[in-house]
């Protein structure tokens, strides 16, 4: 059985199953972006199930696909896409139709050509990679100077010692204040997806990687601010700011997500090239077996 036939049978099975739930039910498949941990899947499932008219939603972290059975009168595919995107995740395609960069138009591979759909899928991976790398470089550009003024006890690392022999306590305090202010854009720009994802997980009484990163980076920032402004609340010698932790952790996690996105894109391209290789049919079998058994 070739790929097209398998897809057709799968779609027919989806429609049959949806028809059992309600006469106006249909099945929509969403290709998702931003699933970077196993607990992201139940979070997105919960988001989709909250949409009025949705009867069931299943998300596979392995394929990055959501299968949603919904009443087409109450919930359109566009509604499902908006719900997913509102919680910090992305949608690359709907029922095999690739979403274009404007976020509204779609390309149906059966009508506009499969090659164009593949090109748009590759472009989507590249856009996601470039977006994450922009966030990484922004975070890195702030993390480096913040680190260089984070540890005044380390003379070889503390940047002011490159220009002066002694640094006053007031100067150290002022540099910490500047670091705290500079770190905020890193949290809210480079790390925005962590907080939106953590909020979505919290609303569904769960926790995921976004929760871990959001809690860790925000706790480091809040602790540092209290240690800087109200040091008397802490035991003597423990009130030390750690703004660099917030910035560096955010930068490194975003970099990891960017590399993961690039690897997924390269894997998809390699699979498509293998599928189109000479001597292979659409199902990946040897060309000499097409149309029957070997003779």
Task: Tell me the pLDDT tens digit for each residue of 212-229.
Answer: 999 999 999 999 999 999
Cα 250 from Cα 13, distance rounded (Å):
43
Choose among 224, 243, 240: nearest CA to 153.
Answer: 240
Maximum average pLDDT range among 20-29, 30-39, 154-163: 154-163
Mean pLDDT over residues 125-131, rounded?
86
Q: How does strand 54-60 pair with strand 65-71? A: antiparallel
Of residues 8 and 132, more confidently modeled: 132
Residue linked to tokens 């975070």: 139
What confidence score (pLDDT) does residue 116 get? 54
With 0.85 as the threshold, say if the pTM is over it.
no
* CA separation, residue 86 to residues 11, 100, 197, 293 (Å): 27, 18, 10, 51
pLDDT digits (tens, 9 = 90+) for 260-278: 888 877 877 777 677 666 6
The domain 3-112 is placed in CATH, from the list 3.30.70.100, 3.40.50.720, 3.60.130.10, 3.40.980.10, at 3.30.70.100
């Amino acid at each position: 059985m070739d790929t097209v036939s398998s897809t057709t049978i799968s779609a027919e099975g989806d429609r049959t199953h949806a028809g059992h739930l309600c006469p106006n039910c249909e099945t929509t498949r969403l290709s998702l972006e931003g699933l970077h941990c196993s607990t992201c899947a139940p979070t997105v499932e919960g988001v989709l199930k909250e949409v009025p008219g949705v009867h069931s939603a299943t998300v596979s972290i392995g394929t990055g696909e959501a299968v949603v059975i919904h009443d087409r009168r109450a919930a359109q595919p566009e509604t499902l896409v908006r719900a997913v995107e509102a919680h910090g995740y992305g949608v690359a395609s709907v029922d095999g139709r690739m979403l274009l960069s404007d976020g509204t138009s779609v390309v149906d591979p059966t009508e506009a050509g499969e090659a164009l759909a593949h090109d748009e899928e590759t472009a989507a991976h590249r856009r996601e990679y470039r977006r994450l790398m922009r966030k990484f470089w922004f975070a890195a550009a702030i993390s480096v100077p913040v680190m260089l003024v984070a540890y005044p006890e380390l003379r070889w690392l503390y940047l002011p010692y490159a220009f002066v022999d002694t640094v006053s306590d007031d100067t150290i305090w002022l540099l910490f204040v500047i670091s705290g202010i500079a770190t905020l854009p890193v949290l809210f720009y480079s790390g925005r997806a962590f907080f939106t994802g953590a909020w979505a997980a919290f609303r569904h009484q769960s926790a995921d990687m976004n929760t871990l990163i959001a809690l860790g980076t925000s706790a480091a920032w809040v602790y540092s601010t209290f240690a800087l402004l109200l040091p008397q609340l802490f035991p003597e010698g423990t009130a030390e700011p750690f703004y660099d932790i917030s910035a560096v952790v955010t930068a490194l996690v975003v970099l990891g997500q960017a590399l993961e996105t690039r690897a997924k894109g390269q894997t998809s391209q390699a699979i498509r090239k293998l599928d189109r290789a000479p001597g292979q049919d659409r199902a990946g079998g040897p060309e000499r077996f097409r149309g029957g058994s070997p003779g």
